[in-house]
Amino acid sequence: MNYEAVIGLEIHVQLNCSTKMFCDCPNIPGDEPNQNTCPICLWMPGALPQFSQEALEKATLVCLALNCEIQKQSAFDQKVYYYPDLPKGFQLSQAHRPLAKNGWMDIVGEDGNQKKLRIHHIHMEEDVAKLVHEIEGRTPISLVDFNRAGSPLVEIVSEPDMRTPYDAMEFLRRLRTQIRYTGSSEGSMEQGTLRVDANISIRQRGSNELNTKVEVKNMNSIRNVGDAIAYEIKRQTECLKTGEPILLHTRLWDPEKHITTAMRGKFEGPCVPDPSVPHIIISDKWLCHMKSLLPEMPNQKTQRFIKQYGLVHEEAAFMTSERDISEYFEVVVSKKASARTSAHWIATQLLPILKDRNQKIKENPVTPERFAQLLLMLEHDEINTNSAKEVLIRLFDSDRTPEEIVEKFGFKQISDTSEISDLVEKVIADNPSAVANYRKGHEKALGFLIGQAMQASQGKANPKRIQEILMEKLN
Amino acid sequence: MQSDIFTYIDPSPFSLMENGPLTGKSVVIQPNMSVRDWPTEAGSAALERYIALEDATVVERLRQAGANIKGSSRMSEMGFGLGGDTGAQALADGIADIVLITDTLGEARVAASTIGAIGFKPSHGIVSRFGLIGLVPSMECYGVLANSLADISDVMRVIAGNDDHDLSMLEGKVPDFDKNYPIEESKGSLAVIQECFDLLSPEDSQDFDKTLKRLNQAGLNIEKFRLADFDLFSKVHKVIGSVEASSAGGKYDGVRYGHRTSSASNWNEMFLKSRGESFGLLVKTYMFQGAYFQFENYKAFENACRIRARLLKEIEGIFNKVDALILPTRRSNIPVDTTLGISKVYDAFLMTLLANVTGSPAISLPGLISRMKNDPGLQIIGPHLGDARLLFIASQLKNIAKRDI
Ligand SMILES: [Zn+2]
């Protein structure tokens, strides 16, 4: 029998607002426990919720970036359940009337074809408190940290349009890029600002039925999501083959053992309209304003980079994969550095060093201005590629300009004809067999001779000039 | 005996405002209205030893207007019904000029009617609920008891009005309590709902009829309306009210304040036992009923919300034709301070629930239903936000009553 998987994702995104959703407490969950609390987020008797305009704005930007229709009216509901992480016995969420509906994103599937993946809706929600389990002496104790209680979240609920782990991972990558572009969230699964639950069911290929789904939680990277889904597809397919029933439940991904394990029966509490948080009514004017705040998104930007800067598609796509990279690139180019060289050097030199040093492109000591100066020296043949790489590394630990570093460490390229002539003559004299080989037609020997000359110049000679003079002398 | 009336007496209740509109007036509130540093237990062990952290907006405004808040009275658990309430007694005994009682089912109006005082329930959404420890947010509000309409107007002028702390308020729609309502502008007619008579005892029915005749003789048109759905007000209130109560009560976990059970082996057990030991049977049953609609019969809750919207329209239709709706405040043969089950409590407030369901302003006036003893009070209900006009109509009806004597 031929089976296929039906996959839907539920994605919680932590918005990087300055305050919580319903009070003015700082939205810094990582602070000293219970520091960022007040009568509202502790839901003390008599307290009433405020509502953060910033949360609404950032949530709206996320919805717009995912091509959703913002609803003219939305409202908060109380998701009722009783647990120590909830100070009031319910969680404020938009169950019945979400902020936005009907979104979509295009991905390129494994077969290379474009695929439209739909988003059912996006709603706003408050985060709950964090439970900390510790051992005091020999007694296990549980502590509650309310710093996170009331932090603003949006939950993105996809349609079950994905069929493979690859689809899900691509969807998440695209989604993450879009969200990060809006500046509304860091969107990091590793840091928990993006949390993904996957719903997976199996059916006969070609069928339209939706079978009992299993929810998988606790993945902390996009790769994990792919692995967990792949495992779950395999597990459920086995169940179908052996006739074991598939029950509605939640499973936890174990990233060490690479398996999922059953967690608990899924409990769906009721949702009743909340009488205290006012309904959200969106005016056309406000929505227009929000749309104007939406930055140029990666797809448009890629097209523009191709047109405006003459990049090829792969380069443009890479330069727009993160908003910070694209902005860095544009400043470098605005300083007259060649666009393709800039793209190439950002991708192959700058970003790997930043990754090694665990630094972000936005706040790194090699400002786009300094980087552009370096590239200009390279383009004007003042230094060669090897030297440029050396200078770049030194730029990280020095306040000097690239010119000063080149000057100080003597990286200036030797383009002087007589000096190179001397070098070349010495190399020809020292390597008679390579010279002979070249004359017999072995092209490789030329590369060897150029290398020898470069070495003799301690890497400072202009390799193009060496080649020209070498060929002149050999022919 | 003051100590029978109060749960807390302020040792120095004097406001520093010398020339405020309420300077010199004594006010008694309930312990579900927050006053910073006062015990605020809302009549429930679930809030045992809870001390308010901030002043309720209403309390702050009363003090700024010069009122002396003397203390808080005893109250029914969470303000549900009138079992054990002593607020009205404080007014009757002359301890207070003004008493605040939360009006969830009609408590303020009914309590006033039992002592021959005036009881007023403002429109929903014009008085901030910040600092009010409520039970049914969409139906409850501060109710005002006083011996004169002037005192009621004065209090309303002070406490009504927008408050940034309460976003559920109706922005910028506060009635103008200083406005005059020239008699020519009124329709000169009052509505009576026919179905009410079926719920009254023969005596009450007769007396109410007599009152209507007198009002008619005084030149007012009395128009009778049929409202077959009248009994739905009680049902809708019961379903929506209990659901909201269940939600509002979810925060009482006995951990941060309130009664906590002495023995429990885990959180679930502690939560269940603490709550089980804290709430009285009445409130417990009410919350349990709400949880039933939340978890087991959500459809019924949705129906109730839909019916509520329809009832609102029907009542609006009546207000398009008349100035106000009148009916007795309570049924004189039904005890009002019962705690013997939800149905009995609702029975006691059958005449007042309408205004809580629709959010309308309503007032109970003494002395209009002619009777020596146990005057059930005449209730006048006006359209939403028509509070000021309602008070004006009330003063006119009082004049009619005076003329008769
Ligand atoms: Zn807070």
User: How many structural domains comprise chain B?
Assistant: 1
A261 and A334 fall within a common domain: no
**Alpha-carbon gap, residue A337 to A367, rounded angstroms:** 14
Task: Say if A88 falls within a structural domain.
Answer: yes
Partners of residue B40 in chain A, C-beta under 8 Å: 45-46
What is the model's pLDDT at position B350?
A: 97
pLDDT tens-digit map of A121-138: 999 999 999 999 998 888
Residues A459 and A330 in one domain: no
Give the model's pLDDT for residue A97: 96
* d(C-alpha B335, C-alpha B344), whole Å: 9
Task: Judge: B247–A50 Cβ closer than 8 Å, yes or no.
Answer: no
A58 burial level (CB within 10 Å; 0-12, 13-18, 19+): buried
- Residue of B57, B75, B130, B167 to mutate, interface with A, max A Cβ within 10 Å: B167
B64 φ, ψ (degrees, to nearest 5): -65, -25
Within this chain, do residues A404 and A427 fall inside the same structural domain, yes or no?
A: no
- Summarised one tens digit per residue, pLDDT across range A278-310 is 999 999 999 999 999 999 999 999 999 999 999
Contact by Cβ (8 Å): A195, A11 = yes
Select from A46, A49, A270 the Cβ nearest to the Cβ of B295.
A270
**Least confident span in A129-133, A264-268, A336-340, A467-471:** A264-268
In a domain, A288, yes or no: no
A200 phi and psi angles, rounded to 5 deg: -130, 130
pLDDT (average), residues A251-274 = 83
Cβ–Cβ below 8 Å for A45 and B301: no
The predicted pLDDT at position B175 comes to 86
> Any chain B CB within 8 A of the CB of A281?
no
| Substitution target from A21, A41, A43, A44 for chain B, most B beta carbons within 10 A | A44
Same domain, A401 and A443: no
- Tell me the DSSP string of A294-360: SPPPHHHHHHHHHHHH---HHHHHHHTSSHHHHHHHHHHHHTT--HHHHHHHIIIIIHHHHHHHT--
| % of chain A with per-residue pLDDT over 90 | 63
Strand partners of residue B381: B325, B362
β-pair type (B189-193, B68-73): unpaired
User: Are A84 and A114 found together in one domain?
Assistant: yes
Closest chain A residue to B297, measured at CA: A270
CA of residue B14 relative to chain centroid, distance: 26
Same domain, A172 and A110: yes
**Rounded to the nearest whole angstrom, what is the distance from the C-alpha of residue A366 to the centroid of ligand 1?**
40
> Do B167 and A80 make contact, defined as CB atoms within 8 angstroms?
no
Strands A73-74 and A280-281: antiparallel
A36 assigned to some structural domain: yes
Q: What's the rounded Cα separation, in Å, for the pair B308 and B311?
A: 5
A114-to-A104, A107, A302, B359 alpha-carbon distances in Å: 13, 6, 17, 55
pLDDT at A266 over 60: no
Do A185 and A268 belong together in one domain? yes
- A438 belongs to a structural domain: yes
Find the domain containing B326 and state its range. 1-405
A-chain residues near B34 (CB < 8 A) = 45-46
CA separation, residue A465 to residues A176, A434, A469 (Å): 47, 19, 6
Q: What string of DSSP letters covers A357-396?
A: HT--STT-SS-HHHHHHHHHHHHTTSS-HHHHHHHHHHHH
| Cβ neighbours of residue A452 closer than 8 Å, sequence gap 6 or more | A427, A430, A431, A434
- Picking from B86, B70, B71, the residue whose alpha carbon sits closest to that of residue B40 is B71
**A150 occurs within a structural domain:** yes
* Range A313-340 average pLDDT: 94
Indicate the number of domains in chain A: 3
Instruction: Examine the fold and report which residue of A214, A246, A281 is the final residue of a domain before the chain moves on.
Output: A281
pLDDT of residue B1: 54
Instruction: Write down how long chain A is.
Output: 475
Q: Which residue of A has its CA nearest to B302?
A: A272
In angstroms, the CA B53 to CA B46 distance is 17
- H or E stretch covering A126: strand A114-126
Are A341 and A387 in a shared domain? yes
B42 and A45 within 8 Å at the Cβ level: the answer is: yes
Average pLDDT for runs of 10 along chain B of length 405: 85 86 96 97 97 97 96 97 96 97 98 97 96 96 97 97 91 80 76 94 93 90 93 97 96 94 91 96 97 94 97 96 96 93 96 98 92 88 95 90 64
Q: Which of A409, A432, A466 is the endpoint of a domain?
A: A409
Per-position DSSP letters for A37-100, written without gaps between them? --TTTTT-TT------HHHHHHHHHHHHHTTPEEPSEE--EEEE---TT-TTSEEEE-SSS-SE
Residues above pLDDT 70, as percent of chain A: 99
Q: Are residue A345 and residue A440 in the same domain, yes or no? A: no
Name which of A139, A276, A280 to mutate to probe chain B: the one with the most chain B Cβ atoms within 10 A of its Cβ.
A276
Residue of A nearest to B252 (CA): A88
* Band of pLDDT at residue A445, cut at 50, 70 and 90: confident
Of B53, B251, B301, which has the smallest distance from its Cβ to A43's Cβ? B251
Write the CB contacts of B327 (distance below 8 Å, at least 6 apart in sequence).
B192, B193, B196, B208, B351, B379, B381
The predicted structure's pLDDT at residue A264: 66
Residues near ligand 1 ion, CB 5 Å cutoff: A 23, 25, 38, 40-41
Is A437's pLDDT higher than 90?
A: no
Task: Output the DSSP codes for A203-216.
Answer: EETT-------EEE
For residue B264, what are the β-bridge partners?
A: none
- Which residue in chain B has the smallest CA separation from A43? B251
Collapsing DSSP states into helix, strand and coil, what is residue B108?
helix
A150 touches chain B (CB under 8 A): no
Of A248, A281, A314, the one marking the end of a domain is: A281
Domain containing B47 — which CATH number? Answer: 3.90.1300.10
Residues of B in contact with A269 (CB under 8 A): 295
Residues in chain B: 405
Q: Which two tokens stand for residue A432?
A: 């008679």
Predicted pLDDT at A208: 85
Tell if the CB–CB gap between A87 and B53 is shorter than 8 Å.
no
Q: What is the DSSP letter of B97?
A: S
What is the chain B residue with the closest CA to A81? B250
The pLDDT value recorded for residue B2 is 65
CATH number of the domain at A453, please: 1.10.10.410
DSSP states of B312-357 as a string?
A: HHHHHHHHTTSSEEEEESS-TTS-SS--S-HHHHHHHTTTTHHHHH
Answer yes or no: is A287 within a domain.
no
Q: For B47, which of A45, A47, A48 is closest by C-beta distance?
A: A45
Same domain, yes or no: A310 and A335: yes
Structural domain harbouring A358:
296-409
Euclidean distance between CA atoms A57 and A99, whole angstroms = 11
Is the Cβ of B85 closer than 8 Å to some Cβ of chain A?
no
A435 and A325 belong to one structural domain: no
Q: Does B39 touch chain A (CB under 8 A)?
A: no
Q: Clarify whether residues A404 and A260 are in a common domain.
A: no
Residue B294 φ/ψ region, left for φ over 0, alpha for ψ in the -120 to 50 degree band, beta for the rest: alpha
In a domain, A286, yes or no: no
Q: Does B172 touch chain A (CB under 8 A)?
A: no
